[in-house]
Structure 1
Amino acid sequence: MTFGLRAASESDGLGWKRFSDKAFLRVQYNRPPGQVKMSQLSMEYGGVCKPPASAPRVRTLGKINIAGVTDPDGDNVAVQVQASWDAGDGKGVIARWNPALTSYKKSGSTFTLSLPTTIPQNKTVHWHVRSYDGAQYSPWSWAGDATSCYFIYDKTVPAAPTITSPEYPASQPDDPNDPWLDGVGQYGTFTFKSSSSDVTRYWYGINSDPTSARQLTTTGGAAKSIPFLPSKPGLNSVTAQAFDAAGNGSEIRTYQFRVKAGQPERATWQLDEEAGATEAQGTTPPRTLALHGGATTGAPGTKGTALELDGTDAYASSDLSVVDTARGFTVSTWVKLSRIPQGTAIIASQAGSHSTGFELYYSAYYDRWVFNQYETDTPNANIIRAMAAQPGGVSADTWTHLTGSYDEAAKKLRLHVDGRLVGEAPLPNAWNARRGLTIGAGTHSGVKQSFLPGTVDELQIFDRTLAQGDIDKLYAKQPVGDPGSPALALFPLDEESGATEIRGHGGVLPAQYSGGVTTGVPGIAGKAARFDGTTGHARVGQAGSPHVNTSRSFTVSAWAKMDTTKPGKAAIIAAQTGTHKPGFELYYSAGFDRWVFNQYATDTAQAQPIRAMQPDGTTARAGEWVHLTGVHDTVAKTLTLYVNGQKAGSAPISSPFHADRSMTIGAGIYSGTTDCHFPGLIDDVRLFQRPVSAEEVQQMFRQRPIVKSRWNFEETTPGTPSNTPDSSVEKNDLTLRGAAELGMGWVDSGGLQLNGTSGYAETSKMPVDTSTSFTMTAWAQAAALPEHDMTVLSAGGSKRSALEVRYRPDPADPNGNGSWQLTLPDRDDATATVKQLSSNDFYDVRLWNHIAVVYDGFAKEARLYVNGVLQEVACRDTDGDGAPDEAGCQDLIAWAEDVLTFKATGSLRIGRAQSTGTDQYFAGLIDDVWTFQGALNEEQVYKLFTGLADVPTEVPSPN
């Protein structure tokens, strides 16, 4: 339930105000589900939802897919579908298919429906959907700027190719056990095959329709495969289309599969410490395992408490794997059997689709501890075992330390018992098991078995083969790392009795500061560290503690703000040290005046860097925050640099080396000498031991919008014309023009008072880049009911406005109310395509109204909020027949997809349009104007709407 009480306002400057002695109360008990977007709709044959001008021809009706249907209250949802066409009966295009409401599913679910066989051939058909939460319908998916999904049924079109993937089986949304698979950052192989012998090539698409930019040649429709890195958690899709030698294209085939979130960060240093700190603490996100059956926590352990298992149905599990079992790795744990098992009793395992990537266990058949891997991920695969040469030596009620490892270089499995090597076995072809970690049981073809009777403690997993010295440390209950990388995952198993889950984490060492480093300064989020550019740096571990293997796929990201005076040589943000050269560097290059991500060909003093950097014609911007991400992908054999969420450059790389020494922040180490110090601020340094997708990079950038300006209108500076200061660090002051002056405001006390004929304010430079993600917000109150358009905000281009936010009266409204409108053209030209959004979800223009414009440049989506609300109004349909109760009613939507914008090159004006003539001057008051580089989310917009006094000039914290 939402309960809100707000009073109306005149201009008395008080926090609780009156307007014609009226106040209004809004009580909202149920929020209707949101409109289903076109981007959530697709066809099994036909691809993504298409407008009428792009209607595909399909020879197979198949299913329609409605993905990610949500309700803001988390209520269960159902879906209603309609399809319309002209059947030639004189009734025209009307709804011909109107199936019953689907069954209810959890918010966020995917729905599929089979198209009816009654659809005629060679007729244009369109379908659309809406959702229902049991009380209210959403708007139809065609409402607002969107359209229905169009197609033509044509049996003469060639058949679509088949698509298969062993790593990512096709999603079955109607199956309650439809799996979510690991995952983002894990490659899968997708194979296309045609039954037509004349097919010569395949086009394919990734979460989009196939294009000629992505194609494979074939002969006779033979199978061809691609490696694919899933780009986002949730429902992903691969599409394919086959072509014959004459160029005839088949219908589009859509293959959908569900993907879990990828492996979490290997390490993060937020640099969030208070002033005077000597080191930055490293963290990783928690790894959780759910408890099942008779698994109990809080049992006495070899160190603290432990996990007790009954040997019948008890285990702990996660569907997210921890380690790549095709590469070198180690598993270590303490175990105490409560009785000698009569069969196999598995302590820890990591499952594949059928077999396991490793099992550490007791075998009653061999009467020994065993560490194994199966030769292949098939139901009847052979087992490779490392174990002692002779049976015996295993007893109940005794703590035993076990370490199983795979040596990738030697291609051997090894088993250590109580620190002593007892057996090894050759493993020529290891493979990666990706179906999750289990403690206390094994998983074969999805079935849990071989339950352990006993207690497990201190489980640790490393993404490297441990040397004997490290194994000795583990047996002595000492931490491992520095020298050497710490554990990829540690499960102390120290939960209190009655816990419902096991929580683990990665091992991370702190970054120790040296030289000129100032901590506790304001950062991109929270605090950051300032490096002096001469001596200041931080080192993660002293004896050598690499947190990623730079010969494998990995990702590094950081926020940085370089001082306005650029350094005369390279300035390192983050690096990982080798003997002579770093394994990677994320840095500013003075020689190129660009941001760069590199690796060296070899770890020698004379080695040359392989650089991914910004393209020619661009330069690194000093004095402002930038988000940098470097990705090393061993499958694609590339280095890629992203700047502020956008791909900036890429370079091929074939044989990178592993830099096995310490990571540094703020400088690099070359043959033992610290150099290339960074001058400026660094914040939020992250490492991943996997490639991060472009969409994930965008998401990391989107999490941190940047305040680019805020005008409170509380004071002016002397002069003609006068200025009012910018409260942000950018200090982009506003100049007051015409009769503009300060008056009574809504936030705090002051506001900008405008006469409607000559008064306005403007900047000397545009505060944000309007061609990418941005947000602008303002409070506005009209002096009287307007008789013409009045502009609140406008951003100038050379030939037209890049955006305009205005109030537009409605002559047909007897009460004189109109709507708030947002106009966004796609280019700086008079013939541009213009998107226009409007909202009439407010009480009165003569009251204070909060207006927020949000543009998400990655999703190409624009949103117009009024008083913290994104208008989505569905016409009432009490009988559910798809027709509104009130004739002529239209669903109202205040957002749009597929929106393109251009970069404003002129000034930002407040209270005046950019055009000449009437200029649509605003008459009334405007207050608390913000601009952000980045798209605020709904909760952040709402916080600005509800903040009325002493609001700090910082990004509202997201929920």
Structure 2
Amino acid sequence: MVRHAFVRCAVAAALASSAVVATPWAAGAAENRAPEQPARADLKTGDKECAAGAERPYVRTRPQLRAVLRDPDAQPVSAEFEVSWQGGDGERQVRSASTTSKRSGSSFSWTVPEDLPALTEVSWRVRAFDGTAWGPWSAEGAPGGCEFVYDNEAPAKPSVASPQYPNDDVWHDGVGVRGTFTVDSDSDDTVAYVYSFIGGTPKTVEPERPGGPAEFSWLPEREGPMTVSVQAQDRAGNRSAPTSYRFRVKKGSAPAAHWKLADPAGSSEGAAESGGKPARAGSGVTFGAEGPARTAVGSAARLDGSADAYLSPGAPAVDTGGAFAVSAWVRPDEVGRGMAAVSQDGDGAAAYRLGTDGDGAWSFALGGPEGAVVRAKGGTPESGEWAQLTGVYDPAEKTARLYVNGRLVDKAENAPAPRGTGDAQIGRALGESGQGGNWAGRIADVRAWNRVVVPAEAAQLAERAAVRAGHWRLDQAPGGASPEEDGGQPLRLGGDAKIRRDDQTCDPLDPACGPGNPAMVGEGELLLDGDGDFAATGAPVVDTGDSFSLAAHVRIDPAAADRTMTVLSLPGEHNDLATLRYTPQRQIWELALAHEDRAGAETTTLKAENDWASPGDAQHLAVVYDDGADEVLLYVDGTVLARAPFHHAWKATGGLQVGRAATADGRGEYLHGAVDDVHAYAGVLGEQEVARLRVSS
């Protein structure tokens, strides 16, 4: 008995001793705090936010579940993810996985297992473990857990129909006429339709309810067979096989009204070219004035700006209840007040008004309810200068567009539907005080359409052909003058300038001799030694107050690569309007245009920064001044390398200069090299035309 008691006492003492030693550890364990509950904002199903119920995301691939986990003691933590769903047998299925430890605040992820069923609501949750304690599950308490549906099945192909453009073998109206397309799906989970026209950017339209129909509109801008491809898309992003809907678009319909105003002098009305009625002229109108040069518009009506300066057919030109467009060639004699070229009477004011405003800009104005007016405006009218104006109203987009000389200068948004069933007016517009804003100047070729005029058509309306004013092949120079191709002014050679022909014998010691430097174009080229050599016409070859273009082939002699040299210039009395030169600092081509005909005038300079003017190599240069757009372009080897606005055109009074320019000390910047195949045009050369000149022979 004594022995057993002793043993019991010894065990008790040992336990007591153990308890005393363990006390600090127990205190430390009590201080450890469990990891935090994952925040809902830190949970994602793939790239989608955590959501449940009707907001649960649909995913097209087995998602990677992601969570940011934190520990209040900044201890490393690991994650346990769990997914669950109702199996087909009614039993709850659960899958889980744990990760390795990371620092507190790290992102953890797990890709759900492959046996995850499709088209089934799946719940998931996550919790953190710090090596001692588990934190609460993310789904505990409000707002609950995360859910998703794995959907890997594409919806059915959609159907497509259009009343304006049916899928048949018939050609339907037409360029500028908007069509409505209805798409539908047999899949009740379709939430969007992705459509694209050939060459267009894909766009998306959504039905009001999943699986329902949707509509989109489209405005054809060119004629020909068309195709729209449509795919149905479900909530997971799965897309159906495409449906290709084919239809045929006719060219744009003719104007609903058209008055050329090219009637003989003494006429009392402008004949109706198509649609509408003849436009009766007021006493302030006379016919037989000259129309815009280089166009098919031969003549125009002149309006004197008085109250009797107008024409009217006594009927509307367009139905302002839908899409419409109006255009005219105009040449104002005044620019300090608002003037109307074309308008249509509305209820107490013009429904639309095309012309100038009082701020010195071209304007296309729409009159809406309660006197509201929306204007598209831009460009600068110039007294005595022709411009082509086109105004377009698109009710589907609620926009008013203004084109000046074929270029869009402004688009006004939220344009009201204009109200106006009154008479069309040419040269005036209805305002609060009655008809006014009478035009002073010329008007020609007035047109109106009951449709949208598309950009390509607006550009075509404003086309002004470039007319060749001079072409010098520089293959020969009988009597010291290289003839112009069409019998115009020759380029007379000055200094020691000469024509070198490929078939000529020459001094073998002359660096220009031999087969190493054949003519750039044709059988010969103009050689200039940089010491007073040049070629020039006796008088101007183009009207620089209007659009013009110049072009030439040139080759710089490498021996002169360190000096400034001019290829072409257009002189006035005191200054050169335009100087196309080589600059040695960066070995590039530049074009300088003087704002005035005076020494030291301000200039606009264009630099071909992205091209090296390689001495010894032939290059093609072109200068294009577009007076209608107030813009100048510099081409090198068929590519536009510089462009700039230019509003200061004046008429050069001297002949075209090849190989020299005006300087402070008289003529200088003489070219050392060769020039060939020089062209001059009245008008604007397009990119393709410049490219053709580059390869001409």
Work out which of the two has the higher radius of gyration on C-alpha atoms and give 1 or 2. 2
Q: TM-score, normalised by structure 2?
A: 0.42
Of Structure 1 and Structure 2, the greater helix share is in 2
